[in-house]
Amino acid sequence: MKIADGESILFIGDSITDCGRLRPLGQGAGLGESYVAFVDSLLAAFYPERHIRVLNTGIGGNRVTDLDSRWQKDVIDLTPDWLSVMIGINDVWRQFDNPSDPCQVTIDLYETTYRTLLEQSRPKLKGLVLMTPYYIESNLSDPMRKQMDVYSAVVERLAFDFDAVFVNVQAAFDSYLVNRTTQSLCGDRVHPNKTGHMIMAKSFLTAIGFDWNLALQKK
């Protein structure tokens, strides 16, 4: 597993990451109820010999431009060993639910801003994880799903460019939707229930080399 004993990992993003975390910094019992809390609990349960500090600075409603305005305070000043970023859902969603918004995050602005943020932080990190935005919709021709896939492709390209662990959250949800309905995860195709957050946590942990057989090996 890539994260070592004594290292810290900071999660930043929008409401999916935030999910009720404490202010100004989510940690310990104040991580909220998102995939971040599941990651923290599973790391402790499977790797009790590794003391990994998990931090959460997600804020609901954020777009990548919002991350830009708080990157110094909520990322750089906290000096994490590892950083995980998941942003883009609101960047796309606002184009559909509020198309008259003059501050839309176009695909070019999304990539340029995201790239600039990573350029500031990557040299100082031991590891970086980039998670795709997603839309819990199996119809690939759905307009918002199509647009989300375009933004997700940018994240994959950035992961390659910055030697980051790539987590395809959309693919994880797509796999689930082969057997279950969107409504079994959420009502708005964006904000998942606990099952959805566990899918994200599993996808994240698998990508960083989490050994799911440890429970059997330690019996």
Residue 108 is among the residues annotated as catalytic for this protein:
no
One of 66, 81, 184, 191 is an active-site residue; which one? 191
Distance from C-alpha of 21 to C-alpha of 30, rounded to nearest angstrom: 5
Residue 191 is among the residues annotated as catalytic for this protein:
yes
Residue 188 is among the residues annotated as catalytic for this protein:
yes
Distance from C-alpha of 2 to C-alpha of 5, rounded to nearest angstrom: 10
Angle between helices 169-177 and 194-207 (to 10 degrees): 130
Contact between residue 64 and residue 161 where contact means Cβ atoms under 8 Å apart: no
One of 8, 14, 15, 84 is an active-site residue; which one? 15
Distance from C-alpha of 154 to C-alpha of 145, rounded to nearest angstrom: 15
Which alpha helices (H) appear in the chain, and where do they start and end? 15-18, 35-46, 64-74, 89-97, 107-121, 143-161, 169-177, 194-207, 214-217
The residues assigned a catalytic role are 15, 188, 191
